[in-house]
Structure 1
Amino acid sequence: MAVAIAVTRERREGETRCAVTPETVKKLIALGATVSVEAGTGLGSSIPDDDYAAAGATVRPDLATVLAGADVLLKVRGPTAAEISALKPGAVVAAMLDAYREKAGVEALKAAGATAFAMEFVPRITRAQVMDVLSSQANLAGYRAVIEAAYAYGKGFPMMMTAAGTVAPAKVFVMGVGVAGLQAIATARRLGAVVTATDVRPATKEQVESLGAKFLAVEDEEFRNAQTAGGYAKPMSAEYQAKQAVLTGEHIRKQDIVITTALIPGRAAPVLVSAEQAASMKPGSVIVDLAVEAGGNVEGSKANEVVTTAGGVQIVGWTNLPGRIAADASALYARNLVAFLGLMIKDGALAVDLDEEILKAAVVTHGGAVVHEGVKG
């Protein structure tokens, strides 16, 4: 019997992405699955129901009929209480669960007996790259951050030489050089800005310079050891943060645009830009805080608001930048999910091996228990 995959429409406010596209419906069917899609699932990504039907999916009118008998539920964000309550015991859920913060959702999945996978926990190893939703979505977030900055900024990005005079290029400073930061650097450079960037991980210096930007950091011994084996930034000491703040504070004052991207898994986002530093910028300057949903890198940023300071600096705090480029974000995310499900669907049957390296790293709940060590507490 084919694996029954269900995809429901996203119910989180402002979520425009979807977990499958017509392209990936065909791929899931080729794996040996049937796909049921709730009506309206793809509208935020400009995918009409007819396109899903043409690809081989069954379009169902509501949540209950989609989830009836489903073996697997695919989502962008974690399922709601209504979705979880409609799952059959032992169903597999794959979504970005935000498991460190959405404790109630994790507990509900545990109580329902679901085997729930947090796609954000997929390990960053070579063979899991095609499943890495953090990278696929952060890449688009970095791009979109620059577009949002350019929209809010009252001047052009590139140098322009005209008969009436020369327009100076914008100065862009990117703080945090992960996937989002690197794409922000590349996009700002493509638009003609003069770009600088900073990160506590020494390996990023070469990456920044390869994109034609200048690297800025206090390069002491702590800096040289500030990266985990998994490639994430380590929390820095108060002493290092103080030295870095002096260096970056003077630099921020001279910038037109600052984009902050620093996140630490399982922790609140570090504050990189103080209210005082934001106030030091010229009127009309823009700060985009990509970490606002995790508490924010910028003092004074607010989720899903553009805050204008007394000095005329705009702080942009959109929480779902990939969702502002939903068609591409959905396409990439859906491909990540297909690759991930390929680990569990074998010869047309569902075979979940929790000893498999990638599945073991991503599973959060199984058999009525929370099994992920980082989420248990």
Structure 2
Amino acid sequence: MLIGVPAETMAGETRVAVTPETTKKLMAQGHSVRVQSGAGVAASVTDAAYQAAGADMTDAAGALGCDLVLKVRSPSALELTQMKPGAALVGMLNPFDAEGLQRLASARLTAFALEAAPRTTRAQSMDVLSSQANIAGYKAVIMAADRYQKFFPMLMTAAGTVKAARVVILGVGVAGLQAIATAKRLGAVIEASDVRPSVKEQVESLGAKFIDVPYETAEEKEAAEGVGGYARPMPQSWLDRQKLEVAKRVAQADVVISTALIPGRAAPVLITEEMVASMKPGSVIIDMAAGKGAVNADGSVGGNCPLTEADKTVVKHGVTLVGETNLAALVAADASALYARNVLDFLKLVLPKDAAGIEVPLDDDIVAACLMTQGGEIKKT
């Protein structure tokens, strides 16, 4: 099969969907790979490296005009005009973007959104959300250390002792756990909060203290368990108690990293303006939900903190708020390597050996979950 790998055109997107490593594996399966010249440069992959792996270099039209197109982000309107009807598309296509899915359906593409893969053991090797969140959690801590004007570790020097930084992690999914591990390596004192009681042991195993808020009703405990590996909205009674506990820790923190997202919904507000105002001057907030929160009164979109501004670093009440919306793209080489392996493992389900083209086995729960459009129709609502 002819597989195309175009360069990403979205602003700030530095990742690439195929690496020389996965190119060799696709070639070994009998496929031909065409890579747009320069597609991997921002991820530290040269055209020569792709050619050495057996790929042919082409332009954007050549890559987008293939039978199967592999991308990181959903194609733009211009890119869609260069894709042929009936072609297959694999990438992170945002399953909750109804307008975007309609554009893909109108282009008559068989489109697979990898973010929609179920959180099951079998799907772990193709879980792009986890692979990219892992990188984002690491980068969030590195950015916090860069913005924070003091040391992370405790230091005992001839000039006196420097206290370790106090870091609070809000939301302990994949990104939050990696943030804990990274901050621990840098010598910080860490506390973490999450609505799921099941993560307490994971938090403590990484050397952080869990901010425990007891459940008072069966409804609270049931909601806390989540569904399919994702958190569910918690009852207001529990949220009120958690807010008080978190507010105490945030006021004492030097760095706060918030990671809380609920698929298909606005990111919850975990850090209010009052909480920001209570923090020490020079403190840092890395809001990993930037641009995905509720719409503010002025029309702006925050994140876990309404003061966050997407893709900007601002100072409010003496606190630095970082609103980077694509942290994984700031570690493009490793992010691309992991993403490309996710893609390769997914392709094994729809590109079986000796197959003449893409197959869509709807009895496969992973394929059925990822299939967004086919034959001009949207398969997910």
Q: How does 1:3-42 map to 2 (within 5 A)?
A: 3-42=1-40
| Aligned counterpart in structure 2 of residue 319 of structure 1, from 308, 311, 325 | 325
- In the other structure, the counterpart of 1:120 is 115
- Distance (Å, rounded) in 2 between the aligned partners of 1:266 and 1:18: 25
Matched, 1:71 2:67: yes
Q: CA deviation at 1:82?
A: 1.9
- In the other structure, the counterpart of 1:300 is 307
Matched, 1:332 2:338: yes
Residues paired across the two proteins, number: 367
- Distance (Å, rounded) in 1 between the aligned partners of 2:112 and 2:352: 18
Q: CA deviation at 1:239?
A: 2.0
* SS of equivalent residue, structure 1 residue 263: coil
Q: How does 1:77-226 map to 2 (within 5 A)?
A: 77-100=73-96, 102-220=97-215, 221=217, 222-225=219-222, 226=224
- In the other structure, the counterpart of 2:263 is 265
User: Structure 2: which 5+ runs fail to align?
Assistant: 294-302
- In the other structure, the counterpart of 1:354 is 362
CA deviation string 1:89-117 (max 9, x = no partner): 221111111121x3332111101111111
* SS of equivalent residue, structure 2 residue 122: helix
- In the other structure, the counterpart of 1:281 is 279
* SS of equivalent residue, structure 1 residue 183: helix
Q: CA deviation at 1:223?
A: 4.5
Asked if structure 2 preserves the Cα contact closer than 8 Å seen for 1:79 and 1:105, the reply is no
* SS of equivalent residue, structure 2 residue 104: helix
User: Structure 1: which 5+ runs fail to align?
Assistant: none
Asked if structure 1 preserves the Cα contact closer than 8 Å seen for 2:220 and 2:235, the reply is no
Runs of 4+ in 1 over 4 A off after TM superposition: none
- Distance (Å, rounded) in 2 between the aligned partners of 1:344 and 1:30: 16
Residue 308 of structure 2 aligns to which amino acid in structure 1? S
Given the two structures, how large is their TM-score scaled by the length of structure 2?
0.94
* SS of equivalent residue, structure 1 residue 346: coil
Of 363-372 and 130-139, deviating more is 363-372
Asked if structure 2 preserves the Cα contact closer than 8 Å seen for 1:31 and 1:342, the reply is no
- Distance (Å, rounded) in 2 between the aligned partners of 1:175 and 1:14: 26
Given the two structures, how large is their TM-score scaled by the length of structure 1?
0.95
Residue 38 of structure 1 aligns to which amino acid in structure 2? Q
CA deviation string 1:275-311 (max 9, x = no partner): 11011000000000001131210120011111101x3
- Distance (Å, rounded) in 2 between the aligned partners of 1:345 and 1:87: 19
